[in-house]
Chains A and B, each alone.
Chain A
């Protein structure tokens, strides 16, 4: 299902029409007459006919409406906030995170921690990074505050696990190097605004 289809998934073209339900019986006699009429006219089978028709359509006509979770999954909204993703730089493949510690600071569940160090290339290196998903409330602040668009939310919402470590590690969150070409930006919290280009102030060049 494409995004467009997904958005319109509940809007049909079924030609709705009003059903004439007639008058509501007022007196005791009228009510008695309605009951007798319905019982004798066997309207019950009309309903059962519809049910059986739909059942045959589903079972033999290939028109099943049930989603067989967990074998089948519905697509989720692109701005859905589930397990985080760590993005990479497209040019170098290096992870974008610079270790500024803002996500660690802003996290209201206090579930992000990072260790940084001075590496051999005279740069700040993130030597270890963890998110305690048992505590994370998926508020999106970390994605919003990240100056490098490095930490964003992803669509992996199944977080039940027996061990905290198997929720997700830094390496799991990173875009796999072989899928770098398919890496896309997160349109939700933290994304640049549509008019971002217009807001940029230019620096004069002296040379």
Chain B
């Protein structure tokens, strides 16, 4: 995908000669060159809203004033961004904004970081010259977010992010002149409750219900960090202050982010208080831990870990001669190894940024809404801006992304291998293809495969037809494939698709730092003997949840790096103090000489694409154009290639009641379920009405079942948005055991009814 070289233009802004390229707006060009144009409604990550008119400029030879946020810069233009007339225009706009705006800055949460406050002072508005009859505007509580319409200035930013970035389409404008307000049409249903709307609100109209009135903006220290819950590792700040007058202990009050350029999901924004507070330093416990490691046959860990600690574990495992097991990363590692053996590359090709710009997206093997919110956000951007076609292949249809998906292809549970071979046959361009690959594709028994997987040839034809006249294709694959018994063959087919078609691949890492772990560690398949579990079950457990044999710091108390889905190594910083021992203390007892964990950052394996850069030299910011300078990008390393997929195995049929392992919404792992705002009192097994009939259950029944040796006790609830005979079983409430699951996500189970 070569970007077409854009035409260069030269223009003058405020007497300064500027070179830029065609296609950018005047505002973008000005900002890139450090020229200030005031705005109120403009938000870099969405299309220009053009509701405030603060960004007006004068262009020589053009009558009147021009909106710089949406007007393209043209060659030879002479632009003035500030003069008396423009100042008066902007001052009048601010006067209108201030009409009847409640004078409650003293208590408003936004005070101190409020755009309206800043601009009102900037334009010296100290009196109200206009008047309008004030409306009755009662406060509204939307759950996580509270809306105060009387503070709202109707800039529409929240509506835009909700539609253009999140894709939830929950917020709308109720148009009515001066009576206009924002309404939440999904208040009672399935608004994602991501809090994006309140992050972009320039005034105090949308605020967090939990945070409201607890602290002033200027009291909070912003600690830059990366979100730990999923593989997107979004940029965020933990806003920290002392807990109360009585307790000087720092506490995280809220999470903010550079909302101009990056976004967060609900888990990232509201799931911040998962720190381990109870830890203490007791030397006999440390001794016990050291003994346990010395004795260990297997060290099992979860991929909610920093790269540095993963490397340290690798070292420890070598020194005590133990096997290293990471159940949530092993499938992914197998997938990536098999992928590399065909594609010859260590990493997949696409990133979230290229996904945002693609015109066609095929999603396979992931319930993307729940598994990876940021991928869903990126797909939303692709749909809204590039008019992308989205094909969603999954055994369960997802009503919540109906507005994004243009074609849903349902396949049978367990038939992923058949589906990817069919996709390979459909998408790979046959002309000029290597003979061996051609013969492989020709030998596929299309009839059998489509019959068994339930994906018809017509559906595939339809999929192919969508590619017509489109550019930039992305294939998104997820966790269902990594834990499939035939993961290697699936990966080879997928690598083949990426290599011989226009599609670029994103393989969503299933847990937080799975990609990092799969690159750094040499993992063994299964645990045996005496198991030491680091945030995973074992005979001796080290737990950041505070329920193990020794406490460990949680990820908001640690320094280190993660590898994100964008193949970037991003830094994170500790927001809260930690009073116990950490892994390095144990390693020191075992002979490690490093003083701090971040000393490992430059020694991450360069053979896998890591760079030898010190932790303190890692940048962590977005520049004025929105380009990310967070950490560094992994190098793409050439691998040995040449292996080919084999013909798909016979497909097992999955009949009866099937349960799909799937956390939902803002629950990702035991850490999010520890958070005050994300706690759920009742964990439910959700199924369709059809499932209820098949399993002889009714709404509200208590049920019991066993998967992978873990007993689940759940309340069954009928979810009318679901169809078919597959129920969704969340695992965020089962503690560390949820980090030791590497089986296929769909399981046939016998569900026992235990009560009403």
Contacts and interface: CB of A to CB of B under 8 A. Distances in A.
Nearest to B209: A118
A1 B725 CA distance: 92
Contacts of A105: 216, 218-219
A114 B106 CA distance: 14
B214 A113 contact: no
A98 B130 contact: no
Interface stretch (A5-13, A85-93, A190-198, A199-207): A199-207
Given A147-B106, A203-B128, A206-B132, A117 B245 contact: no
Contacts of A207: 133
Interface stretch (A64-72, A122-130, A153-161): A122-130
A124 B213 contact: yes
Contact of A205 (B107, B127, B131, B213): B131
Contact of B245 (A101, A130, A148): A130
Contacts of A118: 209, 212-214
Interface in A148-180: 148
Contacts of B133: 206-207
A56 B111 CA distance: 68
B106 A113 contact: no
B113 to A, nearest CB: 13
B219 A101 contact: yes
A98 B107 contact: yes
B139 A122 contact: yes
A204 B213 contact: no
Nearest to B215: A116
B60 interface: no
Nearest to A129: B245
A123 B111 CA distance: 15
Nearest to A102: B106
Interface string A53-67: 000000000000000
Contacts of B212: 118
Nearest to A127: B244
Contacts of B209: 118
Contacts of A122: 139
A115 B244 contact: yes
A147 B106 CA distance: 8
A136 B749 CA distance: 69
B147 to A, nearest CB: 12
Contacts of A98: 106-107
Contacts of A148: 106
A99 B215 CA distance: 10
Contacts, number: 57
B189 interface: no
A104 B242 CA distance: 14
B132 A99 contact: no
Interface in B434-448: none
Nearest to B141: A122
Contact of B107 (A100, A113, A114, A203): A100
Given A105-B216, A105-B218, A122-B139, A201 B127 contact: yes
A108 to B, nearest CB: 15
B130 to A, nearest CB: 7
A123 B108 CA distance: 10
B107 A124 contact: yes
B245 A113 contact: yes
A204 B214 contact: no
B216 A115 contact: no
Nearest to A105: B218
B126 interface: yes
A114 B213 contact: no
B131 A116 contact: no
B458 interface: no
B129 interface: yes
A99 B128 contact: no
Nearest to B242: A113
A102 to B, nearest CB: 8
Interface in B444-463: none
A201 B106 contact: no
Contacts of B129: 204
A99 B209 CA distance: 18
A206 B131 contact: yes
B241 to A, nearest CB: 10
Interface string B131-146: 1110000010000000
B206 to A, nearest CB: 15
B351 to A, nearest CB: 40
Nearest to A200: B127
Given A115-B245, A128-B245, A101 B216 contact: yes
B245 A203 contact: no
B126 A114 contact: no
A98 B216 CA distance: 13
B131 A201 contact: no
A189 B431 CA distance: 87
Interface in B213-249: 213-216, 218-219, 244-246
Given A105-B216, A118-B213, A204 B106 contact: no
B213 A99 contact: yes
B432 to A, nearest CB: 67
Contacts of A116: 213-215
B245 to A, nearest CB: 5
Interface string A75-95: 000000000000000000000
A130 B130 CA distance: 42
Interface string B78-120: 0000000000000000000000000001110001000000000
Given A99-B107, A116-B214, A128-B245, A204 B131 contact: yes
B398 to A, nearest CB: 35
A117 B107 contact: no
Contacts of A201: 126-128
A35 B624 CA distance: 94
Nearest to B127: A201
B131 A128 contact: no
A206 B130 CA distance: 8
Contacts of A128: 244-246
Nearest to A97: B106
B213 A117 contact: yes
A104 B132 CA distance: 36
Contacts of A100: 105-107, 111, 216
Interface in B328-373: none
A44 to B, nearest CB: 66
Contacts of A104: 219
A122 B130 CA distance: 29
Contacts of B245: 113-115, 128, 130
Contacts of B219: 101, 104-105
A99 B212 CA distance: 13
Contacts of A203: 127-128, 131
Contacts of B105: 100
Nearest to B217: A101
A158 to B, nearest CB: 25
Contacts of B126: 201
Contacts of B107: 98-100, 123-124
Nearest to B212: A118
A96 to B, nearest CB: 11
Contacts of A130: 245
Nearest to B244: A115
Residue of A100, A104, A128 with highest tally of chain B CB at under 10 A:
A100
Contact of A117 (B130, B131, B214): B214
In this complex, the member of B127, B132, B216 whose beta carbon has the largest number of chain A beta carbons within 10 angstroms is B216
Interface string B244-261: 111000000000000000
Given A99-B213, A101-B216, 5 more contacts: A100-B106, A113-B245, A124-B213, A148-B106, A204-B131
Interface of B: 105-107, 111, 126-133, 139, 209, 212-216, 218-219, 244-246
14 contacts: A98-B107, A101-B216, A101-B219, A105-B218, A105-B219, A115-B244, A118-B214, A122-B139, A125-B213, A128-B246, A204-B131, A205-B131, A206-B132, A206-B133
6 nearest A-B pairs in the assembled complex, by CB-CB distance? A100-B106, A206-B131, A201-B127, A124-B107, A124-B213, A118-B213
